[in-house]
Amino acid sequence: MNEDYILIRFGEISTKGKNRKLFVDRLKRNIKMVLRDFRNVRYESTRDRMTLVLNGEDAEAVMARLKNVFGIQSFSLAVKCRTDLESIKETALASVQEQYKPGDTFKVSTKRAYKQFELNTNEVNAEIGGHILRNTDDLTVDVHSPDIHLRIEIREDATYLTFRDEKGAGGLPVGSGGKAMLMISGGIDSPVAGFYAMKRGLEIEAVHFFSPPYTSERAKQKVIDLTKRLTAFGGDIKLHIVPFTKTQELIQKQIPENYSMTATRRLMLQIADKLRERHNALAVFTGESLGQVASQTLESMYAINAVTSTPVLRPLIGMDKTEIIEKAKEIDTYDISIRPYEDCCTIFTPSAPKTRPKKEKIEHFESYTDFEPLINEAVENTETIVLSSKAETKDQFADFF
Ligand code: ATP
Ligand code: MG
């Protein structure tokens, strides 16, 4: 029996009222985007779900991609048959025979979208269950926790049979909630923050501060690889690489050492905010969590955040490092993040940064220097590359370097 269909059920979006169509359209687009290199897949959709016709494409590979798409509640491999009782009986029995082991239990549940069908749902359950029982050995019914849960969905044009529900990623379709900039560092935290931004339906563009020759090409490559990994959750992502060397050198020269980190963060945020404006985004995301390091005390956040009134969102704020690491492993960014290359902040980090910097003091220290020209220069010289969610090919990488 060929399970040549995948039924995809939409999640939270089914309750979104008037915006529903927008959300659903976006989700359908995102699904097609992550599956675009499976050329034979065909799409059929109705109001509350989508059906993929695999046409010979590898079901496991397609399902692995679907697992990452926000807005999907669950999906299942399905067999399709004609909407008539004989055909349903035959298909159900054949599928069960193919997969059960002696001693297994099963259950049948039926949903009838096509109300004119000759039997009601209870009658279908009884009819199909009885037919399976009569024609198998050592298989019994268990309605509470069956080994095999056969779901039958009767529609006018066709009937679908599924056996196993895969949990989807939940959340909202990427792009349905607008756009934000993600400050991405090459560390463990910021890619996880990006994941959460996307989970709530945001499209992200990543911003990375790069300080050659203090930081190496390999540190940059690490950020490219991390951003590329995040495309699995929502399609192509733009990565803006900001040349930050001159600014950092000027900070070293002009700002007292124990405040240099505060100044660095303030300047990064100002530049990220300019890029945000330029690219029509409405918020900045960071991987900060409260209390982790000197720059992440509440006093520090207050002094850094004072440079802008744009929302700076920190989805990891309440998480412990171990929880963040767990998530990073789950979304496959951890192995890239722990590659040893230094990032620009690590290198310039003073031995004793102020853990309780005062906003008035940093403003005072900064007031002796005009950073504005360097901020503008950094924005102007930012290099933008687009990371694609498509499976990598050599040609594609040739475009980047
Ligand atoms: P991460 O693991 O994300 O680097 P962290 O715990 O090491 O976080 P910091 O290095 O203090 O913390 O960075 C805090 C946040 O500032 C990062 O999560 C990121 O959002 C931003 N950030 C730090 N360095 C950079 C950089 N070079 N480019 C862009 N953003 C950065
Ligand atoms: Mg870091």
Model pLDDT, residue 20: 82
Residue to substitute in 183, 264, 285, 334 for testing ligand 1 pocket (most ligand atoms within 8 angstroms of CB) = 183
Model pLDDT, residue 15: 60
**Architecture in CATH of 179-387:** 3-Layer(aba) Sandwich (3.40)
| Closest by Cα among 283, 288, 310, 311 to 300 | 288
Whole-model pTM over 0.75: yes
Runs of H (alpha helix) within 279-356: 298-305, 321-330, 334-337, 344-348
How far is it, in rounded angstroms, from Cα 256 to Cα 66? 51
Residue type, 96: V
Average pLDDT over residues 229-239: 93
pLDDT band at 16 (very low <50, low <70, confident <90, very high): low
3-state secondary structure of 51: strand
> Is the pLDDT at 99 greater than 80, yes or no?
yes
> Is the pLDDT at 399 greater than 60, yes or no?
no
How far is it, in rounded angstroms, from Cα 54 to Cα 6? 7
Going from the Cα of 263 to the center of ligand 2, the distance in angstroms, rounded, reads: 16
Runs of H (alpha helix) within 48-109: 59-66, 85-99
> Is the pLDDT at 349 greater than 80, yes or no?
no
* Phi, psi angle pair for 82, to nearest 5°: -70, 150
Average pLDDT over residues 329-334: 97
Is residue 171 a known part of a binding site? no
Residue to substitute in 181, 182, 184, 189 for testing ligand 1 pocket (most ligand atoms within 8 angstroms of CB) = 189
pLDDT band at 355 (very low <50, low <70, confident <90, very high): confident
3-state secondary structure of 158: coil
For ligand 1, atom 12, name the residue with the nearest CA. 288
> Is the pLDDT at 106 greater than 90, yes or no?
yes
Instruction: For domain 5-167, give the CATH number.
Output: 3.30.2130.30
pLDDT band at 396 (very low <50, low <70, confident <90, very high): very low
Write down the domain spans for the chain: 5-167, 179-387
Residues present in the chain in total: 401
Model pLDDT, residue 395: 43
Is residue 251 a known part of a binding site? no
In sequence order, the β-bridge partners of residue 210 are: 243
Top pLDDT among 125 and 393 is at 125
> Is the pLDDT at 12 greater than 70, yes or no?
no
| CB < 8 Å & 24+ apart, contacts of 111-115 | 111/151, 111/152, 111/153, 111/154, 112/154, 113/153, 113/154, 113/155, 113/156, 114/83, 114/154, 114/155, 114/156
* Torsion of the alpha carbons at 271, 275, 277 and 282, rounded to the nearest 10: -90
Model pLDDT, residue 374: 97
Asked if residue 219 has its Cβ within 6 Å of ligand 1, the reply is: no
Average pLDDT over residues 46-62: 90
* Phi, psi angle pair for 349, to nearest 5°: -65, 125
The ligand placed nearest to the CA atom of residue 194 is 1
> In this predicted model, what pLDDT tens digit does every residue of 280-289 receive, in sequence order?
999 999 999 9
> Is 34 within 8 Å of 67 (Cβ atoms)?
no
Report the percent of the chain where pLDDT is more than 70.
93
Average pLDDT over residues 360-381: 97
* Torsion of the alpha carbons at 178, 382, 361 and 249, rounded to the nearest 10: 160
Strands (E), 248-357: 284-285, 312-313
